[in-house]
Amino acid sequence: MSDELTRTFSDDLDQLPPEIPGAGNLDPGRISWLHGTNQAGAKAPGTFYARDTAFTEPPAAPWVVDNRYDDQGELGYSATELKIAIIGWRDQWFLPGEDRGDLPTWLPHYETGAKKLTEYLIMVDGLADPMVLSVSGKYKAGPFAKIFSDYRRGSLAQAMRKIKRTLPPWSHWLTVAGKRDAAGKPIYEKATDGDGKEYGSIVTVPTLVAPPQEVTIETLKEGIFLYQQYQAAGWFSFKRTPRDVVEGQVVSQAPQLEAPRNVPQPVGEIDALPF
């Protein structure tokens, strides 16, 4: 069989048009925070976790293969510590499904019993592509909101005063891991509700574990590029619609760049960060 007959579209991407009718939008891979465990013989720290499909290729250290969901046919990777730089974020209220695995019901505003999902568009040191850090709840979304808020009011503000000009949030790498004691061992906390009542579960709260570190000029420019692309695509303001609701408006797809960078064309203001 000749080589011509065995070639696939991946071998000839340069022959594809910038926009392909019917093609879906490219969404970044998703990262979550998983709490550790503190059981006899099964102690583990909190970790960042992502399915293998979130990466274009197997990630290098500090990522390691994570088989905790093998019984569900899922391969994943985890890292106890990451350097991340935040590009922007969005959030939305939802009602969780009744049973594990049920789809959530997305809401346009808060309702009794609703939870808020926060999605951060980030760069991760060591990964070529942007990722989405997806978190919700008191012990996941809350700590990350505090990390980013403290950074903006502390190190970032100080850096701007020093050079006498504004800087975007992705000016620094933020080294994040679960809380540790003086010996470097994970700190396990009992989860409680707003009244202090214990849920009966253990959490490992993410926190900043090192001073913010300035990124290179190349990384700073990459962040500007990414912010403009996702701002143009409406990523930061996008809201999922409730099930069985059809929008009464035709929405056209944003133009896409030539392969291999399949993201929308830049438009918009860099100083309009959704923080």
3-state secondary structure 8-76: CHHHHHHHCCCCCCCCCCCCCEEEEEECCEEECCEEECCEEEEEHHHCCCCCCCCCEEECCCHHHCCCE
Q: Is-contact 46 206, C-beta < 8 A?
A: yes
Distance CA 220, CA 240 (A): 30
User: Residue 113 CA to chain centroid, in angstroms?
Assistant: 24
Within a domain: residue 48?
Answer: yes
More confident residue, 39 or 9: 39
142 phi and psi, to 5 degrees? -60, -55
pTM for this model (two decimals):
0.79
Within a domain: residue 259?
Answer: no
Q: Is residue 20 scored above 70 in pLDDT? A: no
Whole-number mean pLDDT of the chain? 83
The range of the structural domain enclosing residue 216 comes to 26-232
Distance CA 98, CA 105 (A): 10
pLDDT classification of 195: cutoffs 50, 70, 90: low
Looking at residue 260, its pLDDT comes to 39
- Transcribe the chain into DSSP letters: --HHHH--GGGGGGGS-SS-TTPPPP--EEEEEE--EEETTEEE--EEEEEGGGSSS---TT-EEE-TTGGGT--EEEESEEEEEEEEEEEEEEE--SSTTPPPEE-SS--TT-EEEEEEEEEETT-SS-EEEEEESTTTHHHHHHHHHHHIIIIIHHHHHHHTS---GGGEEEEEEE-B-TTSPBPPEEEE-TTS-EEEEEE--EEE-S--EEPPHHHHHHHHHHHHHHHHTTTTT--PPPTT---SS--PPPPBPSTT---BPP-S-TT----
Within a domain: residue 11?
Answer: no
> pLDDT tens digits, residue range 146-157?
999 999 999 999
Percent of the chain clearing pLDDT 90 (strictly above): 64
Within a domain: residue 260?
Answer: no
Distance CA 84, CA 208 (A): 11
Domains of the chain: total:
1
More confident residue, 5 or 77: 77
> pLDDT tens digits, residue range 231-265?
998 999 999 887 655 444 433 344 444 443 434 33
Within a domain: residue 157?
Answer: yes
Within a domain: residue 12?
Answer: no
Distance CA 160, CA 217 (A): 15
Within a domain: residue 188?
Answer: yes
Within a domain: residue 274?
Answer: no
